[in-house]
């Protein structure tokens, strides 16, 4: 696998990959790679495309009190994992390459960015949209792969791609989970053994709330919040929304149940699909 750090090298390397007429798929990441990221690489490979992964810990999507400084950066292990999985090219720009002096543009996707994590983390989705727009322009892929664990991020990117005519396919890949149900996340590395044991309350609460909601029961969300609180989580939100707009659920349309909560100093997010219902 070739690794490039400069935009000029990236452009040449991508042109080389396309040389034989191959499609190019992008897997954008912030590194600290795990099996969830590898599922994205594998899905991209299964499409027959050449796969470009990017690793860039994007300062613009971290708030001033968030974990930018301590965010894990295991570059050697990440490179090894991508090489073993047969990734074709790794784009690893530095902050100055991504945001040279004078950089002044902000991509903001209103509506779908506003609630949930957008409300809990002001500016976060502007940072995500800005860097993802840049990655799309840098690599110019035919498709890009994102995990459904970051469900609101996926919705923001889909909206941006449609609104700005990026002309590439956005593929959402189902969340990969530990055997007890905890969604894989680079931030799981922050959890102590005790927090890790209690963290399973998050997928359990969502699963119970999904079943209760689909069975037409009332009170599923307060019950999920109570079980999260009992496990020691501080809750940012547990919400049932329309799966496409992330606004109010609409009768007859797929829904999504999303949650964000902190255990100790670690903020975890998760979500599950909820079947459409005629009476929401």
Residue count (the chain): 280
Specify whether 37 is catalytic.
yes
The answer to whether the annotation marks 227 as part of a ligand binding site is no
Which candidate in 5, 37, 85, 124 is catalytic?
A: 37
For ligand PAF, what does the binding mask look like between residues 115 and 154, x meaning CB under 6 A?
-------------x--xx-----------------x--x-
Q: Which phi and psi (to 5°) does residue 12 adopt?
A: -65, -45
d(Cα 231, Cα 12) in Å, to the nearest integer? 51
Find the shortest distance in angstroms from Cβ 129 to ligand PAF. 9
Binding ligand PAF by CB under 6 A: which of 4, 24, 25, 28? 28
Which of these, 204, 273, 205, 278, lies nearest to 241 by C-alpha position?
Answer: 273
Complex with ligand PAF: residue 68 or 276, whichever CB lies closer: 68
Which of these, 253, 248, 249, 61, lies nearest to 150 by C-alpha position?
Answer: 61
The answer to whether the annotation marks 276 as part of a ligand binding site is no
Complex with ligand PAF: residue 150 or 236, whichever CB lies closer: 150
Stretch near ligand PAF under the rule CB under 6 A, chosen from 6-14, 22-30, 169-177, 207-215: 22-30
Residue 58 binding ligand PAF, by CB under 6 A:
yes
The answer to whether the annotation marks 81 as part of a ligand binding site is no
Q: At what angle do helices 75-84 and 35-46 cross, to 10 degrees?
A: 30
Q: Which phi and psi (to 5°) does residue 30 adopt?
A: -110, 20
The continuous run of DSSP H or E covering 132 comes out as: helix 124-139
Which are the catalytic amino acids? 37
Note the residues at the interface with ligand PAF (CB under 6 A). 28-30, 58, 61, 128, 131-132, 150, 153
């Amino acid at each position: 696998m070739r690794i490039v750090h400069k935009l000029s090298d990236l452009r040449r390397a991508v042109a080389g990959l396309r040389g034989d007429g191959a499609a190019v798929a992008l897997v954008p990441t912030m590194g600290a790679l795990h099996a969830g990221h590898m599922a994205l690489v594998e899905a991209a490979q299964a499409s027959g495309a050449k796969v470009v992964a990017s690793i860039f810990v994007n300062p613009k999507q971290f708030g001033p009190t968030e974990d930018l400084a301590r965010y894990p950066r295991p570059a050697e292990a990440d490179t090894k994992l991508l090489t073993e999985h047969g990734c074709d090219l790794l784009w690893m720009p530095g902050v100055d390459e991504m945001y040279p002096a004078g950089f002044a543009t902000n991509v903001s996707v209103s509506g779908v960015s506003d609630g949930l994590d957008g409300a809990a983390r002001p500016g976060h989705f502007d940072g995500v949209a800005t860097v993802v727009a840049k990655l799309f322009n840098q690599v110019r892929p035919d498709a890009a792969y994102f995990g459904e664990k970051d469900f609101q991020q996926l919705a923001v990117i889909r909206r941006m791609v449609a609104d700005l005519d990026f002309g590439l396919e956005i593929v959402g890949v189902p969340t990969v989970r530990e055997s007890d149900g905890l969604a894989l996340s680079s931030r799981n590395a922050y959890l102590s053994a005790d927090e890790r044991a209690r963290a399973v309350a998050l997928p359990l609460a969502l699963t119970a709330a999904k079943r209760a909601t689909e069975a037409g029961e009332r009170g599923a969300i307060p019950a999920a919040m109570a079980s999260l609180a009992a496990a020691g989580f501080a809750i940012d939100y547990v919400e049932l929304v329309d799966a496409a707009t992330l606004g109010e659920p609409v009768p007859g349309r797929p829904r999504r149940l999303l949650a964000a909560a902190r255990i100790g100093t670690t903020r975890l997010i998760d979500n599950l699909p909820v079947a459409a219902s005629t009476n929401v």
